[in-house]
């Protein structure tokens, strides 16, 4: 009997961002691009996590990662903002509240 490894094209469910979640994230992304802070993004939908990565330049490590882990919704919260160094900046179940940690970067003193 031959045992085959699992196919990469199997029907295992993947975690993905919902349209309303992407609306919030892309709204923040647009404001940060207009401010000249961010330039590129990437989205990864994996088996246990969906990741929205934000880059200052295309060929470097992400500045921030916005992660959705549904398995953590009853514990720490399913959304997290993670910095470049891997530090969790904010975690919770309300995406709008979690993204506020990044919106503070837009607030600047006007001369």
pLDDT digits (tens, 9 = 90+) for 76-87: 888 999 988 888
Which pTM does this prediction carry?
Answer: 0.78
Secondary structure of residue 34 in the 3-state scheme = helix
Sign of the CA dihedral with 86 first, then 88, 92, and 95 last: negative
Residue 12 pLDDT class (50, 70, 90 cuts): low
Percent of the chain as helix, strand, coil, to the nearest 5: 30, 25, 50
User: How deeply is 94 buried, as exposed, middle or buried, from its count of CB atoms within 10 A (0-12, 13-18, 19+)?
Assistant: exposed
Residue 39 pLDDT class (50, 70, 90 cuts): confident
In angstroms, the Cα distances linking 25 to 28, 96, 106 are 5, 9, 14
CA-CA distance, 76 to 98, in Å (whole number)? 12
Nearest partner of 95 among 32, 41, 52, 57, judged by Cα? 52
């Amino acid at each position: 009997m031959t045992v085959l490894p699992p196919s990469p094209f199997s029907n295992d469910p993947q975690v993905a961002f919902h349209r309303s979640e992407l609306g919030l994230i892309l709204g923040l992304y647009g404001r940060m691009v207009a401010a000249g802070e961010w330039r590129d993004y990437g989205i990864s939908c994996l088996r246990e996590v969906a990741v929205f990565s934000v880059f200052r330049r295309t060929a470097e490590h992400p500045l921030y990662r916005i992660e959705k882990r549904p398995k953590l919704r009853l514990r720490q919260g399913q959304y997290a903002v993670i910095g470049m160094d891997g530090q969790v900046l904010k975690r919770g179940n309300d995406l709008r509240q979690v993204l506020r940690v990044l919106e503070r970067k837009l607030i600047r003193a006007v001369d």
